[in-house]
Structure 1
Amino acid sequence: MAALVLTSENQIQRLNHILNTVKKHQTLDLTTLKTPPNPQAWNIVEVIAHLNIAYGKYVEKINDALAKSADIEKESEGFKARRWQKFVFEGQRPKNGVRKMKMKTMKRFEPLLDKTELTEEKIDEVFDEFFDLHNHFKQSILKSRNKDVTKIKITSAIGPIVKFYLPEAFEFLLCHLERHMVQIDEILA
């Protein structure tokens, strides 16, 4: 397995692309946003709500890790992802615009939206929360550039089987976002 070096520049570029894409999706008509491809599938708003829940599980962990990480003088050249963590985020990362495998969402990450109550106002709230949370994500990546990210680990939202250093957590979260951007593309197709 080849080494994967994680850089904040790459992560910020990918996050910016996702933020711009979601901004475009926010302007879609209500019917498009609320209509799933089939009765068992999520609609676009539910995907965004799921992303809010998923990132929300990391906010305090990231804040805590940043607060406990020592400042450094010079930004790191990159962070070499460890083997198990690389395996975990490669399982999330889409390949050539395709999600490799379907994954059952744990109950605690399911969007609990009443589809009959998805008003324009409620949909705007879901998107606003997305941008608030993911601006935190962007700021956290930027702050980590001047921190020693090799000392503090955070437990993943799925439990202690996976622990990440900050750059690995950011990579996992980005791969998760990219996976769901593909899902939204599938809904729109």
Structure 2
Amino acid sequence: MTPSDFLAALHTAVADLRATAHTQFAALDPALLNQRPAPASWSILECLEHLNRYSRYYNPALAKALAKSGEATASSSEVGYSWLGRKSVEMMRPANAKKSSTLKHMNPLGSRLGAEVLAEFDQHQARLLELLDRARTADLNRKTVPVEFFRLLKLRLGEALEFVVVHQQRHVQQVLRVQATLRAELAC
């Protein structure tokens, strides 16, 4: 896929995630936002807080990589993948039904959360859209983004952008499932 098509697809996906949060979650009652479908499951706000925690790391890391890529020129070659990048993206794709465990510091289970989580999520999405726009002039195949859990490993800029987006898609789908479960319970 060409870099412009790749970035356009990611931009559309992030805009859709942002719209879903506005239309599906913003008007929900705070009690419902914090209700878990099961004791060990995340609530709607816990899912979004998990994404906020990742965004707090990856948005600045992506911005730093983009600032450094000012020295490089945009590549017209297809977006490439390393073994680590391909594995990371495929593991997080929403279609991958295999459950993953999260790192302890990224697990919001039991956190006291309020509407500020939704506002922060929206801010992170707006920032990610800006970063995707800036990436149009960058070489997406340069390895410049350290992996959050082991910073000696680096992803290519394109891989990191896609990883962040598919990770968010995966958890927003989780939020929609939580919401559907809670609504079904309320209807009974």
TM interval, shorter chain, is 0.7 to 0.9
Higher helix share: 2
Task: Indicate the RMSD between aligned Cα atoms, in angstroms.
Answer: 2.3
Per-residue deviation, 1:60: 2.4
1:47-126 correspondence runs (5 A): 47-70=47-70, 76=76, 78-95=78-95, 99-111=96-108, 114-115=111-112, 118=113, 122-123=114-115, 125-126=116-117
* CA deviation after TM superposition for structure 1 residue 32, in Å: 2.2
Unaligned runs of 5+ residues in structure 2 are 181-188
TM-score scaled by structure 1?
A: 0.83
Q: 1:39-67 deviations in whole A, cap 9, x for unaligned?
A: 11110011111100011111221121111
What's the counterpart of residue 132 of structure 1? 123
What is the alpha-carbon distance in structure 1 between the residues aligned to residue 109 and residue 87 of structure 2? 30
Distance 1:103 1:161 in 2: 22
- Percent of pairs with identical residues: 25
d(CA) in 2 for partners of 1:143, 1:77? 18
User: CA separation of 1:17/1:48 partners in 2, compared to 1, >3 Å: closer, same or farther?
Assistant: same
Q: In structure 2, give the amino acid aligned to 1:16.
A: A
Unmatched 5+ stretches in structure 1? none
Question: 1:166 is matched by which residue type in structure 2?
Answer: L
**Distance in 1 (alpha carbons) for counterparts of 2:49 and 2:22:** 14
Once the two structures are TM-superposed, the CA of residue 159 in structure 1 deviates from its matched residue by: 1.1
Q: Is the 8 A contact 1:65 1:166 kept in 2?
A: yes
Q: How far, CA to CA, are the matches of 1:149 and 1:93 in structure 2?
A: 20
Question: Deviations for 1:14-34, whole angstroms, at most 9, x for unmatched residues?
Answer: 111111111121122223211
Distance in 2 (alpha carbons) for counterparts of 1:157 and 1:170: 13
Output the CA distance in 1 between the equivalents of 2:75 and 2:141. Answer: 13
1:169 lines up with 2:168 in the alignment: no
TM-score normalised over the length of structure 2: 0.83
**TM-superposition CA deviations, 1:61-120 (whole Å, max 9, x none):** 11211111136777746412233311211011021xxx51111111111226644xx4xx
SS of corresponding position for 1:58:
helix
Say whether the 8 Å CA contact 1:69–1:152 is kept in structure 2.
no
**Residue range with higher mean Cα deviation, 84-93 or 27-36:** 27-36
Letter in 2 for 1:93: R
1:188 matched to 2:179: yes
Q: Does 1:151 align with 2:142?
A: yes
Distance 1:67 1:74 in 2: 13
CA distance in 2, matches of 1:152, 1:85: 10
Q: Distance in 2 between matches of 1:81 and 1:152?
A: 10
1:18 aligns to what?
Answer: 17
Match of 1:142 in 2: 133
